[in-house]
A and B are shown apart, each in its own frame.
Chain A
Amino acid sequence: MNRAVPIAAVAVFFLVLWYAGAVALNAPEIIDLWTRNGTPWTTSDLVQAAWNMDRAVLPTPHQIVADLYHTIFDYPIIDVRNRNLLYHVGITASSTVVGFAIGLVVGVALAVGIVHMRTLESSIMPWVIMSQTIPILAIAPMVVVILGNMGFTGVFPKAMISAYLSFFPITIGLVKGLRSADPLALDLMRTYSATPAQLFWRLRLPTAMPFLFTSLKVAVAISLVGAIVAELPTGGVAGLGARLLTGSYYGQTVQIWSALVAAAVLSLILVGGVGLAQRIVVGRSGGPA
């Protein structure tokens, strides 16, 4: 209850700001139209019109909620014209999850390699870091188009972009985690003459778990960003990226905002899923969260 009040206060503040902003941004166009048509109007008329305008510069929350309801419940999920929003969420979610899974495998493999082989660190690490300095917006269309020409369409090219983004925080976080074992704990394992494998499974990996899960939360969120970005150059076929693109083509601002809300909710669910996995894994191995 004590936490709910400040959160609600902030929410109310932003709603007020939003509705005020909708009036400020949408009013000039309406006034312009009414002046040309010679329609008489009052301030109350103007506010009403600004809050319910089609193709508004800034749509209002109730318009977005109405659009979300309409696009989720008024069409079947499998629709010939792909009008159901959940269908697009599903498309984006699947390439996000596949890309995240690839990123996880690659990221963990790189981290384990780097920690165990000095040469890998000096040869691979600069490339790993450099890979992330290239703007994803520049590389995503090329990857999607090239893979498309090679016959790879659908989930796979988009998943590659997600994987490209998500392996990085996993590698960096896990390398840090695997190296964070206490010198005393390492000495202890040495007094037992533990093998490298025993050292890894019984000390390094458990020590790295908190680092790994923090990285996974970052990774799954940017995996979603990668999937959405990868959907832009496909020409708006399906997915939340496509919804953003067609929305901006046709000036359907409400559709853009609905897609944004859907992406945010999807992101929350994915990060929440990682948090749940953390609780199960850490719970099983014991110890405080």
Chain B
Amino acid sequence: MTAPGGAAGQAKPVVDIRSLSLTFQTDDKPVIALDRIDLRIDSGDFVSLIGPSGCGKTTLLRVIADLERPTGGTALIDGMSPEEARLKRIYGYVFQAPALQPWRTVERNVTLPLEIFGIDKAERKRRADEQLALVGLTGFEGKYPWQLSGGMQQRVSIARALSFSPELLLMDEPFGALDEITRDHLNLQLTELWRRTGKTCVFVTHSISEAVFLSTRIVVMSPRPGRVLDVIESDLPRERTLEIRETVQFQEIAARVRRGLKAGHSYDE
């Protein structure tokens, strides 16, 4: 992956995962969620993890975020253990649901992490305004989450994840619960946001077109046990519009993702 914009060839990867395994102990038998995963993500990359339900893509993201502990192998985030990385607030996490606090306004939801980090009020306000502008929600500061649509709520949660300027943005099917039209719109906003901020993004999805549209690299995973089947480098330009999905280049990448999923028996019953 050679990213135009200076990030290419950097020695230290943002995420460096080697032979990572995770086995859950359940009552009847152990479940291998991740089986010897190797993954390297460089600064400025947009990496999608794609696979059917139960392939461990969310688990892998949670390991990076130190929400799960691996049972084997190593994961280095910015050269640190996931726990150190979490304590140093290197990443922002966007969940499947917006997880906004209903008793807080939009602005105070965005500033929640800043309050926890002890940042003063004036600075909190400034950053909230900045991030809400970035996700196109200026003017909604005083609203409560229940007054917003699902797509707007998820944009608030992205603004919240970006509010403390993390190096790495981890997203777990953030648009999974939204309708396709809203999803297209948010994908477009997200790719613009990524291009403008230069953040490293790891994005979990089970939508092929979403993965191809957003990513510079697509990691295809298979279920039971969770393994990496294929890593596809995308040669689409970094600047993307929805029309790019009609191009042959896009279709070819999508076809390769689909082949990868098929090889992993993702379409079997």
Contact = CB atoms under 8 A, between A and B. Distances in A.
A193 B89 CA distance: 8
B5 to A, nearest CB: 27
Contacts of A209: 103
A191 B65 contact: yes
Contacts of B104: 285-287
A192 B166 CA distance: 11
B103 A191 contact: no
Interface string A171-209: 000000000001011011111111000100011001001
Contacts of A194: 116
Contacts of A189: 116
Contacts of A192: 89, 112-113, 116-117
Interface in B93-149: 93, 95-97, 99, 101-105, 108, 112-113, 115-117, 144, 146
B99 A184 contact: yes
Contacts of B103: 206, 209, 282, 285-287
B38 to A, nearest CB: 24
B116 A286 contact: no
B245 interface: no
A188 B144 contact: no
B17 to A, nearest CB: 18
Nearest to B92: A191
B67 A206 contact: no
Given A285-B103, A288-B146, A191 B116 contact: no
Contacts, number: 57
Contacts of A286: 103-105, 108, 144
Interface residues of A, number: 21
A203 B103 CA distance: 10
Q: How large is the interface on B (under 10, 10 to 19, 20 to 34, 35 or more residues)?
A: 20 to 34
B97 A202 contact: no
Chain B binding surface, main DSSP class? loop
Contact of A202 (B102, B116, B146): B116
B67 A187 contact: yes
A191 B169 CA distance: 12
Contacts of B183: none
A202 B67 contact: no
A194 to B, nearest CB: 5
Nearest to A206: B103
A193 B67 CA distance: 11
A187 B112 contact: no
A194 B113 CA distance: 9
B203 interface: no
Contacts of A187: 67, 93, 95, 99
Q: Max chain B CB contacts within 10 Å: which of A192, A194, A282?
A: A192
A198 B102 contact: no
A68 B65 CA distance: 68
B95 A203 contact: no
Contact of A193 (B87, B95, B105): B87
A190 to B, nearest CB: 6
Contacts of B108: 286
Contact of B67 (A190, A198, A287): A190
Interface in A17-49: none
Contacts of B146: 287-288
B86 interface: yes
B95 A188 contact: yes
Contacts of B65: 191
A189 B103 CA distance: 16
A178 to B, nearest CB: 15
A198 B101 contact: no
A169 to B, nearest CB: 23
B67 A182 contact: no
B25 to A, nearest CB: 19
A119 to B, nearest CB: 25
Nearest to A285: B103
A192 B90 CA distance: 10
A203 B115 CA distance: 13
B91 interface: yes
B91 A191 contact: yes
A281 to B, nearest CB: 10
Nearest to B96: A184
Contacts of A285: 103-104
B103 to A, nearest CB: 4
Interface in B196-234: none
Given A191-B65, A191-B91, 8 more contacts: A185-B101, A188-B93, A190-B66, A192-B113, A193-B86, A194-B116, A209-B103, A288-B144
**Pairs A-B, 3 closest by C-beta atoms:** A287-B103, A191-B93, A184-B99
28 contacts: A184-B96, A185-B99, A187-B99, A188-B93, A188-B99, A190-B86, A191-B67, A191-B91, A191-B92, A191-B93, A192-B89, A192-B116, A193-B86, A193-B87, A193-B89, A194-B116, A198-B116, A202-B115, A202-B116, A203-B101, A206-B101, A206-B103, A282-B103, A286-B103, A286-B108, A287-B102, A287-B103, A288-B144
